[in-house]
Amino acid sequence: MKSYRKELWFEVPARRGFINITPRVRECLEDSGVREGLVLCNAMHITASVFINDDESGLHHDYERWLEKLAPHEPVSQYRHNVGEDNADAHMKRQIMGREVVVAITEGQLDLGTWEQIFYGEFDGRRKKRVLVKIIGE
Ligand code: ZN
């Protein structure tokens, strides 16, 4: 069995943002040489997500509004976690958007649905953060 590991680094200049990382995961898959197997892709931070959905700007705007309704950033004093920091909302946003995705590899390709794309979701940015890509198979 082949095994491949890579860390992808991101530095989102704003507090929040979504990045389509599908091309970078595809590069990892090509480097791995795996034709049949699985790719795991997970955020290595508790204030960021990896998730799969549509690459459509209206939807991303809707996510932003929805997440701000569920866990508003302000006022930061509403959260008990915010003693010496201000990112309690980011932990909650990460929880609901998820930690990781697993995608099947078939004939050397990511076996995604028609509109499925892999995203990095940042909820407490302006610093360097990592995503792990782990690929196993033959
Ligand atoms: Zn925190």
CA distance 124 to 121: 9
Give the tens place of pLDDT for each residue, 1-16: 999 999 999 999 999 9
**CA–centroid distance, residue 30 to ligand 1 (Å):** 36
Under 8 Å between Cβ of 60 and 25: no
What is the reported pLDDT for 18? Answer: 98
What is the reported pLDDT for 75? Answer: 97
Q: Which residues surround ligand 1, an ion (CB under 5 A)?
A: 85, 87
| Residues 6+ positions from 5 with CB-CB distance below 8 Å | 132, 133, 134, 135
pTM, entire model: 0.97
Domain CATH code at residue 132: 2.60.120.460
Q: Give the model's confidence band at 28: pLDDT under 50 very low, under 70 low, under 90 confident, else very high.
A: very high
Give the tens place of pLDDT for each residue, 49-69: 999 999 999 999 999 999 999
What is the reported pLDDT for 25? Answer: 98
**CA–centroid distance, residue 103 to ligand 1 (Å):** 29
- For residue 29, give its domain range: 2-137
Q: How many domains does the chain have?
A: 1
Q: Dig out the tokens for 13 from the structure.
A: 């200049």
CA distance 122 to 62: 15
